[in-house]
Amino acid sequence: MAISETLRRSSPRPVSASRLATEFGVTPRTIERDLAALRSAGLPLYSESGRRGGAVSLDQMGDVVVTLHPNEVMALLTAVQAAGPSMPFADSGATAVTRILDALPAQTRLMTEQLRDRTRALDASDDPIGRRARRSIEEAVRRQVVVNIGYRDREGAETQRSVDPVGFLRHVDGWYLIAWCHLRDAGRIFRFDRITTANLTRRACAERDVDATLGWVPDRVSRP
């Protein structure tokens, strides 16, 4: 989705695979596979050759009417930044923020920018899990397929796990993956900053209830 939006925003200018690879933190070969998957899914893409060539999207941005108040826009901007780069779907959140800002009426955009100039927040630029592993986990939850992870416990011991990804938990010390662990044959939560690797498989996972898999937690939690 993020690649598609980047191409749509750049159209009719081509975007090279190397630029996309840098932006999304993957290899150019991975980008080429993703572009092929987008074409197979029916996205209208074509390639321009040459030194300034790349992928071009024929899909047009729709007209979006946004009637948000500047205070509401600021709340969204602040929430995305406060959640940090390790938030599930952080890349999509950044894309959504850009789309909202682009669609604002001129006066609302001006008032929003004035509020942004008066606001400061901690720059959480480091992604403790790593973008590649985080994106694999996001896809595993979205597609409901088994994911193989490397996990380091609080003592530093690392194990390899195959898990059924069920969902996400935000707690006081960060983000967790809620999953059914095949090794333990039980529901477990895996702290994002302790997941060292994550690799998708093609095996569909069992459908599981989020709260039943999560089990008891000391604080009240709710869906966003």
- What are the C-alpha distances in Å from 141 to residues 67, 120, 133, 147, 201? 32, 33, 13, 9, 12
183: which DSSP letter?
A: T
Q: Kindly report the CA angle at 79 between 174 and 180, in degrees rounded to 5?
A: 35
Q: Which ranges of the chain does DSSP label H, i.e. alpha helix? A: 2-10, 17-24, 28-40, 70-83, 90-103, 106-117, 131-143, 210-214
pLDDT at 159: 95
SS3 at position 117: helix
Q: Which helix (H) or strand (E) holds 194?
A: none
**In the structure encoding, which two tokens stand for residue 130, read together?**
């790593």
In the predicted model, residues of the chain with pLDDT beneath 50 are: 62-65
Cis status of the peptide bond prior to 85, with omega within 30 of 0 = no
pLDDT at 63: 47
In single-letter form, the type of residue at position 52 comes to: R
Whole-number Å distance between alpha carbons of 48 and 50: 7
Whole-number Å distance between alpha carbons of 60 and 10: 10
Instruction: Output the pTM of the full model.
Output: 0.69
62: which DSSP letter?
A: P
